Structure 1
Amino acid sequence: MALLKILTAVLILLFPLGELGRFNIYNEIFTTLNDILVGVVVIYWLILIVWKNKLTELSKKKLSKPILIFIFIAFLSLMLNYLNLKTEELIGSFLYILRFAAYVSLYFVVSSFGHDFRKKIIYLMIVSGALVILGGFVQYFLYSNLGNLYYLGWDEHLYRLFSSFLDPNFAASIISLFLTLVLSILFFKLEKSKKIRLALVLLSVLAFTALLLTYSRSGYLMAITSVLVLLFLLGKKKHIVILFAIFILGIVFIPKDFGGEGVRLLRTASLVSRFEYLDNAVTIFKDNPIFGVGFNAYRYAQYRYGFLDGDSLRTSHSGAGTDNSLLFVLATTGIIGFASYLYIWFRVIKNHSSVQNNRYQRMISVAVVASIVGLFVNALFINSLSYPFVMEWMWILIGIRESK
């Protein structure tokens, strides 16, 4: 178990590398150093529980059945569509299922640790999130033009903070999750040390500033929603006015004179392309309503429908998804998979809605529920629910609250 703890700590601390550890495996199949580390952690954990004959204990976890049901349906949806796929496409699509299963398994890994180490994980996440923000500021001032990587399939973001995730919208979603966790710790007053509380206040200010510099409207909505839910659950409704005042002041003072389209909060170009992607997803879902086109064979379905050309099929990072997580699940797994996917999150919220006597557990529960609500709002605009780094953050946080 000691080695598993070390591997988990390393995974969390290397989280800030983001997409910088991304590399090509074969054709349009990519992976990241983070994917590999998650795989190592999960495989080692599986070896441990099999060796110790504790495999049957997994069934006692509250989310075991919902998670396994969705993974089974995802696999079934792919098998039902195998005739539409070449062998390498089938393998590539199946790897997405394995990746989803690996990231969700972090919930089981973390929940297997004792209370003391799980508490340490929270602070490892704080350190990791702080490094993401620090890296974001360095990037913002020294590398504000992502156009140099356009040939690799990245969008041409200019004068926006995108940190190591190379996308301001996904960076904003990570920063929002981090901000929600830090504010939860502060509001629950878990830290007695004035220095640590001051450090957390400073981190929340830096996180808010970094969030503003992403110029991500979906990220703004996510943060506002999460903090609103957080304040509501804590009964601090009077703070809502202060929240909006701070946010409006932030919007007023962020730089807007760079001249780039991306820093214009009233920009419409991205909305037009987003509606086009959503229309494509709806078209695919209408033709495959029960089990979808297979999880995750969405890239190849787009190519068959003519929504992606040959070059985009190989290089586009967004080709394997669409700008709405819910439509993505509907298009790839159909109504059956969509229902089972929502059931997972329903069970998570239900589990975290129960009253806990332990102040620490209540803090985690509030942070989880607030994060999920904000994340679902965010997922209406980008495919954040399927983004590996979002999944990692959320399933680790959910696992911390689970009973051993």
Structure 2
Amino acid sequence: MKTQYLRLNAAFLALVCLFVVFGNLPRFVPIAGSFGNVNASELVIYLCAAPILIKNFKRLITSRAVLFLLAVNAFSLGVGIYHYGLALDSMFYNIRLSAMILSGFAAGVALHWIFRDDITRLTKAYVVTYGAAALFSFVLLVIYPDSTVLWLKLEQMGISFTGDPHQFRLVSTYLDPNFFGTIIVLPILMGTLLIQRSSYFAIFLLMVIALLFSFSRSGISLALLAFACVFGLRILSMVTQYQSKHIGVRPAHVYFLLLSPFLVLALIYVFDSQVERVVERFTTTRDDGSALSRLRAFDTGTELIAQHPLLGHGYNFAIRYLFKDGTKVDSSLQMVIMSYGFIGTLVTLVAGSLWAWVISGKLRQLPSPLPYLLFRKLLIYTALTLLWAGHFNQIVFYPFWLLPVLALFFYFDQLCVSLKSPHPFRSPHGTFAHSF
């Protein structure tokens, strides 16, 4: 029975990996419905999460994190119905978000069952998955160097998809270079835990090159900010250790710091034209139509927030205004405030911060530093995505961003719950010894 359950978890994680790797490509198989074309793989994820949720029903109803998120979303549904009535399209998106939260919990539970405390194996799985996504994205770039040809192909197949025209730009399997640029930063950060292994260092380089080929200002700047925070905290930790006479520097970190300047110079030399184009993207922001449209979208978001500042419009209920006026809101933070109001957003941020503080404290007590280091990278990435990169893209509620991030958060939640067990790490699938 236990073996069968492990296989069920492994099969579900394999589906999640395929979901991440192939992204929006399943849109080539349209599903007709009252809500337009729906990504087939997303529906498969929701359906296949059900057996794991049923099997772990006790975990589900005792998880404060998942119950809190579901309660906040349910409250926003009530607020939306109060303001706009039974708007079926908005209610559908609200229910869809709850399904994504539950699927993220199922993925987190599955990660814990398969990897237990083995952070190295978990990190390898994430890095390989996103390395495959980057590889398929380059294949798509070779086939469709002009994205308008791809959009036309989708339209001819009866698939409604709106995308910007891109020339020789890595739109990725997500069919959006800016979403990809933001998403790929997390596995790049995770890849720093594996750079001492040559094969994973190659995947790390592939993801970095893919980020550059996305020419995404938000993604590249997010990566720079994230690495600045990670290395800043590392330097602060080294200073503290030096003051307390307990210096601990891993050789891999030294090698990476020494090789970084040469690696950057090599990338600039090999991809000279691409680097020049990236620089141009940052230096011509004022004259760029995309940047100007985001400024207009920010003004629209501010106006909508002002209409219902305390409790918001309800998740995705304000989209009726946007469709009617032909406008949009790009900022994820604005979308959160617009959906849940300042009260709901503040309560969620405070609750999330307290939860992260508790989890961090428990992870610090573990024999291996890897769980805490990975969790800290995840926190830095998520915070910077919401406060910085999320201002330029509707990334926070994007399924290909949300599901893997929720899965990691719920994995750490379940890992800390297992610490209460008398034998929390008795598993043939992972031990802290393997982390070194």
The aligned counterpart of 1:313 is: none
The aligned counterpart of 2:227 is: 227
The answer as to 2:316 corresponding to 1:284 is no
Offset of residue 255 of structure 1: 5.4
Change in CA separation of 1:383 and 1:175 when aligned onto 2, cut-off 3 Å: same
Which of the residues 137, 158, 161 maps onto 2:170?
A: 161
Map residues 186-201 of structure 1 onto 2, 5 A cutoff.
Answer: 186=195, 197-201=197-201
Offset of residue 180 of structure 1: 0.7
Offset of residue 80 of structure 1: 1.9
Question: Partner of 2:367: helix, strand, or coil?
Answer: coil
| Cα separation, 2, equivalents of 1:92 and 1:348 | 29
- 1:78, 1:295 within 8 Å by CA — same for their partners in 2? yes
Offset of residue 35 of structure 1: 1.6
| Cα separation, 2, equivalents of 1:387 and 1:125 | 18
The aligned counterpart of 1:346 is: 353
The aligned counterpart of 1:174 is: 183
Map residues 2-401 of structure 1 onto 2, 5 A cutoff.
Answer: 2=6, 3-22=8-27, 23-50=30-57, 55=58, 57-58=59-60, 60-61=62-63, 63-83=65-85, 86=87, 88-106=88-106, 108-110=108-110, 113=113, 115-116=115-116, 119=119, 120-148=121-149, 149=151, 152-186=161-195, 197-235=197-235, 250=267, 254=271, 256=273, 264-265=281-282, 266-267=284-285, 268-304=288-324, 306-308=325-327, 322-343=329-350, 345-347=352-354, 349-354=356-361, 355=364, 356-376=366-386, 377-401=388-412
Change in CA separation of 1:244 and 1:206 when aligned onto 2, cut-off 3 Å: same
Change in CA separation of 1:264 and 1:61 when aligned onto 2, cut-off 3 Å: same
Offset of residue 328 of structure 1: 0.5
Offset of residue 360 of structure 1: 3.2
Change in CA separation of 1:294 and 1:61 when aligned onto 2, cut-off 3 Å: closer
Change in CA separation of 1:244 and 1:297 when aligned onto 2, cut-off 3 Å: farther
Paired AA for residue 171 in structure 1:
F
- 1:136, 1:164 within 8 Å by CA — same for their partners in 2? yes
Deviates more, 1:357-366 or 1:257-266: 257-266
Deviates more, 1:9-18 or 1:212-221: 9-18
| Cα separation, 2, equivalents of 1:240 and 1:229 | 15
| Cα separation, 2, equivalents of 1:90 and 1:210 | 35
- 2:13, 2:107 within 8 Å by CA — same for their partners in 1? no
Offset of residue 258 of structure 1: 12
Q: Could you report, residue by residue, the CA deviation over 1:339-388 in whole angstroms, capped at 9, with x for unpaired residues?
A: 23323542453245322432331232233123223323211221211111
| Cα separation, 2, equivalents of 1:170 and 1:219 | 8
Change in CA separation of 1:77 and 1:42 when aligned onto 2, cut-off 3 Å: farther
Radius of gyration: which is bigger?
Answer: 2
- 1:364, 1:397 within 8 Å by CA — same for their partners in 2? no
Q: Could you report, residue by residue, the CA deviation over 1:258-308 in whole angstroms, capped at 9, with x for unpaired residues?
A: 99999744242111111111111111111121222221223212134x235
| Cα separation, 1, equivalents of 2:63 and 2:36 | 33
Change in CA separation of 1:107 and 1:231 when aligned onto 2, cut-off 3 Å: farther
Change in CA separation of 1:240 and 1:348 when aligned onto 2, cut-off 3 Å: farther
Deviates more, 1:116-125 or 1:40-49: 116-125
| Cα separation, 2, equivalents of 1:20 and 1:131 | 14
Deviates more, 1:155-164 or 1:233-242: 233-242
- 2:108, 2:409 within 8 Å by CA — same for their partners in 1? no
| Cα separation, 2, equivalents of 1:261 and 1:111 | 36
Q: Could you report, residue by residue, the CA deviation over 1:72-124 in whole angstroms, capped at 9, with x for unpaired residues?
A: 332222222232x54x3244333333344334434653465264486554333
Unaligned runs of 5+ in 2: 156-160, 240-253, 419-436
The aligned counterpart of 1:316 is: none
Paired AA for residue 279 in structure 1:
D
- Figure out how many residues of one structure are paired with residues of the other and give that number: 375
In percent, how many aligned pairs have the same letter? 18
Query: TM-score normalized by structure 1?
Result: 0.81
Query: Aligned-residue CA RMSD in angstroms?
Result: 3.3
Offset of residue 331 of structure 1: 1.3
- 1:176, 1:223 within 8 Å by CA — same for their partners in 2? yes
Paired AA for residue 302 in structure 1:
L
| Cα separation, 2, equivalents of 1:401 and 1:98 | 20
Change in CA separation of 1:209 and 1:300 when aligned onto 2, cut-off 3 Å: same
Unaligned runs of 5+ in 1: 190-196, 309-318
Q: Could you report, residue by residue, the CA deviation over 1:189-234 in whole angstroms, capped at 9, with x for unpaired residues?
A: 6xxxxxxx10111111111111111110100111112222222333
Question: Partner of 1:63: helix, strand, or coil?
Answer: helix
| Cα separation, 1, equivalents of 2:308 and 2:114 | 45
| Cα separation, 2, equivalents of 1:129 and 1:63 | 26
| Cα separation, 2, equivalents of 1:284 and 1:158 | 34
| Cα separation, 2, equivalents of 1:263 and 1:271 | 13
